[in-house]
Structure formats: structure tokens, C-alpha cells
A and B are shown apart, each in its own frame.
Chain A
Amino acid sequence: MEFLYDFGYVLLGTCRDVLPIILLITIFQLFVLRQPIPYLRRVIVGAVYVIVGLALFLAGLEKALFPLGKIMASQLSDPAFIYGAGEMVTQADWKAYGWVYLFAAMIGFATTIAEPSLIAVAFKANEVSAGTISSWGLRITVAFGVAFGISLGTFRIVTGTPLYLYILVGYMVVIAQTLFAPKSIIALAYDSGGVTTSTVTVPLVAALGLGLATTVPGRNPALDGFGLIAFASLFPIITVMGYAQIMHWRTKRKR
């Protein structure tokens, strides 16, 4: 019974998210385009699938994985776990946080693989490229980027180094890669930065960032807790372009 209530709540939230889109499309169809939508029935059924599917997905995550993941994030960043119980720590030692970096990388990878918006973009990319870009290949490449990004982001929080320095270097790398990467991949690579962080990744990653910023000595959650999402959107651009470059060189050498 309680579950039905939770599910209803999530479903209502999803409907509210979709409402502006439905309104917009209806207004444009009625007043601007004045044309019937092709296969209207199929489209409506599909839209219902999307709404119900997403609500089930979110309700399930909130029931099963988010609570556990959030508890884990706070346990792993707890000084009692990292330095041993009873130790008084005033200065953070970045070498002691090995498990945190590993957890960050693995949870970043795993949540990205399950991210529905990335599934959508990978599907489209596969269709548009007539199969040359494999849907799984793109998702795994992006997931590696997110894994590296979030891991580096936790390292930044632990060491307290300024966010903008990392972002600046990341941008430089992206710009340099853009000059050499095959043209056909550039737009898709930029896009894959934006889609990685939504329903699955953000709640877990935000919990990890705020947990670390609160427990690491000398960090201020207000200043250091943010920024992990920025890392998770920057590094997939680098890995996707890097992968495309490697594939490009390989096919060139074969000839």
C-alpha cells in the first residue's frame, strides 16, 4: 500500500515534467502547423509507456538503490572508516581515501550505463550513423569518462584544490582534441557531456560530494560540495573524442 502511494507520487511528478511538452506540442499543432500528427495513436501509447516506465524506474531506484548508495557514500567518507576509529584528524591525507576514489569511479561508471537519456542518445547515434557508431561502445566510452571525472572530482574535494583549475585544463584538452578529432564525432562528443548527468547519476554523486565535503577536515560543503557534476560532464567529451581518434588512426594504418 505504501509502495502504491510512493509510485503514485513519482508518477504525478513525471506527469508534471511532461505537461509543458504536451502543451507546447498541442499548441503548435493546433495553431501553427494545423496538421494531424502521423500515427497519433501509436505516439500517445509510446508517450504513456515513457511516463509510466520512467516513474517505475525512479520509484524502484528510490526504493532499492538510492538509500543504499547514499548510506555507502557517507560511510566511505566517514573519518572513522578512513583513518581508523578514535583517530583525531585535523589535516586530510589524500592517500588515505583510496576506497573513496574507487567507489567514485565505479559508481560513476555503473550509473552512467543505466542512464536513460544516454541510452536514448546512443540509440539515435547508432541509427543516424547507419551502425558505424555502436550503441554499447558509445555508452561504455562515456561511462569511462564519467568514472574518471568523478574519481578526479573526489580527489579535488579531498585535497581542496580549486575547481576552476581542473576545468580550465579539461577545456584545453577538449579544444586541442577538437582540432584533431574526426569531424563527424565532434557534435556527438559535446552532447555526450550533457546527457551523462541526470536521473540516476546526480542523486548518488551529489550525496558523495556533499558527504565528503562535510567530513573531510578543512572543507566547506558550501564551497567544495559542488562541482562533481561538472567533472562528470567534462570528461566524457574527452574520452569520446579520444576513442574516435584512436579508431580513426587504426583504420588509417590498416590501409
Chain B
Amino acid sequence: MIISLIFKKLVQALKDLSPIILVIAFFQIVVLKQPLPQMGEVLFGALLVVAGLTLFVQGLEMGLFPIGEAMAHALARKGSLFWLLCFAFALGFSTTVAEPALIAVAAEAADIASQGGLIESSQESQQQYAFGLRMSVAFSVGLAILIGVMRIIRGWPIHYLIIGGYAVVMLMTIIAPKEIIGIAYDAGGVTTSTITVPLVAALGVGLASTIRGRSPLVDGFGLIAFASLLPMIFVMGYGLIVFG
């Protein structure tokens, strides 16, 4: 029973991974006409990936989803809007501020800005710039989850907020320095890590299913969308303040 269950999960993980293996093998053998290097290492690595994905999915169902929903239920039942919003902001801010992908992007952005002569090329000013960038992204993700939770509680339609956000992004693109635009657009994508996403999704769906008159499908999703939109606006705003 348990063995067949594990086997099923393993097959599923293998199915998830097979496209990558096929694409890489195809390009290596057919297009670049080179043998696959270090077959043993590659196979071993692929094995780890499959085992890891199996464990991750199992852990999602057992741990991350239930805890996200339990927090949502408990906070909604407590009935204190203040603590709910505090939790939402802290969740967004704390998971983003130390995110390795963001630290890497911020450091790279500082490098580019100093090459372009936008900031002094001293290490101190580069670090300061990267730190400011990270803080504005982390703050914006916290604010995004907060706004998203407000939206679920009040039942605001999501498309007005998102379309409004798009309009702001486009307006800011016109006035922001061009060195920051590419980074700003990408910042939206790198903020939400693999552990944050399931937790935030469970929080949204949990809230929407607890509050009367909200549908989990229509209202429960959308938190991640805010978390990818707001950082773009904040990073461009940061660029305007620092360079302007």
C-alpha cells in the first residue's frame, strides 16, 4: 500500500522532469552534435531531483498547505484585522528580504549602475545602493500581501487593482532611468520563492473559504500576482529617487 503510493509519486516526479532531460539530450546530440558529458554524474543528479521533488510534493500536502490554512483560519476567527494585516506584511517582508535570488540581482544591479556612472563606483556606495534596492523590494512584497489580504476581506475585484497597477508600471517606465527598467521588470519574478508560494496560496485560499460570501477560486488566488507587480513599481520608484 505505502510502497505503491511512493511508487506512484516517484513516477509522477519522473514525468515532471522528463521534458528537461529530453530537451537537453536533443540539443546536445542532434543540434550541437556532442556526446553527453559525464553521464554518471548527470544520471545521479537526475535521480536526486526526482527523489527531491517526490519528497517536496509529499511535504506540501502534509505540512505547508495545512499550516498556511490553519493560520488563515485562526487569524480570521480571532477577528482582529490588525493582526491579520501584520501577519500578511511580515510574511511578505521576511521571506523576501533574505531571498538569495534577490541578493544576487541587487548586487548585479549595483554593478551595472556604477558602470553606467549612475552611482559612485566605490564599494560603499554600491553596497548602499544594493541594500536600498533589497529593502524596497522586500517592503513592496510585504505591502503586496497586505493589500491582497485586504482585497480578499473586502471582496474587491482583482482586475481593477491589477490593471491599475499595470497603468502605473507603464507610466513609471516612461519617466524612470532606462538602466533600472530591465531590473525592475525582472524583480517581480524573482521575489516569490518556492516555499513562500505554497504558503501564500494556502493563506489566500484559507481566508477566502473562511470569510462568508467569498469564493476560494475567485477571491483566494491573486496574492502572488500582487507580489510580482508591486516590486516593479517600487524598484522604478527607487531608481527615480536615487538617480533623479
Q: Chain A residues in contact with chain B, CB under 8 A?
A: 13-14, 16-18, 20-21, 23-25, 28, 32-33, 35, 37-39, 42-65, 68-69, 72, 75-76, 81, 99, 103, 106-107, 109-111, 113-114, 116-117, 119-121, 123-125, 128-129, 163-164, 167-168, 171, 174-175, 178, 183-184, 186-188, 190-191, 193-200, 202, 222-230, 232-233
Contact = CB atoms under 8 A, between A and B. Distances in A.
A178 B217 contact: no
A186 to B, nearest CB: 6
Contact of B221 (A14, A16, A107, A187): A187
B19 A53 contact: no
Contact of A120 (B91, B97, B197): B197
Contacts of B240: none
B54 interface: yes
Given A57-B56, A106-B26, 13 more contacts: A20-B94, A47-B67, A49-B63, A53-B54, A57-B48, A106-B19, A168-B170, A178-B159, A191-B225, A194-B189, A194-B225, A198-B192, A229-B188
Interface in B199-225: 199, 201-202, 205, 215-225
B65 A226 contact: no
Main secondary structure of the interface of B (DSSP, over half): helix
A67 B75 CA distance: 44
Nearest to B54: A53
B132 interface: no
Contacts of B48: 56-57, 59-60, 63-64
A225 B186 CA distance: 11
B83 A163 contact: no
Contacts of A168: 170, 173
A42 B63 contact: yes
Contacts, number: 337
Interface size class of B (residues with CB under 8 A): 35 or more
B2 interface: no
B49 A17 contact: no
B6 interface: no
Given A47-B59, A50-B64, A56-B51, A193 B91 contact: no
B224 A64 contact: no
Contacts of A106: 19, 23, 26-27
B47 interface: yes
A195 B197 contact: yes
A8 to B, nearest CB: 14
Which of B21, B74, B228 is packed against the most chain A CB atoms within 10 Å? Answer: B228
A195 B19 CA distance: 19
A28 B71 contact: yes
B189 A233 contact: yes
A145 to B, nearest CB: 13
Given A50-B64, A65-B24, A114 B182 contact: no
Contact of A124 (B41, B52, B75, B205): B205
B17 A114 contact: yes
6 contacts: A35-B74, A37-B67, A56-B52, A68-B42, A76-B27, A195-B197
A194 B228 contact: yes
Contacts of B119: none
A110 to B, nearest CB: 4
A200 B21 CA distance: 13
B87 A17 contact: no
B11 interface: no
Contacts of B100: 13, 17
A17 B99 contact: yes
B194 to A, nearest CB: 5
Contacts of B179: 222-223
B53 interface: yes
Contacts of B169: 167, 171
A230 B223 contact: no
B116 A222 contact: yes
B123 interface: no
A120 B181 contact: no
B37 interface: yes
Contacts of B181: 163-164
Given A175-B166, A194-B192, A65 B46 contact: yes
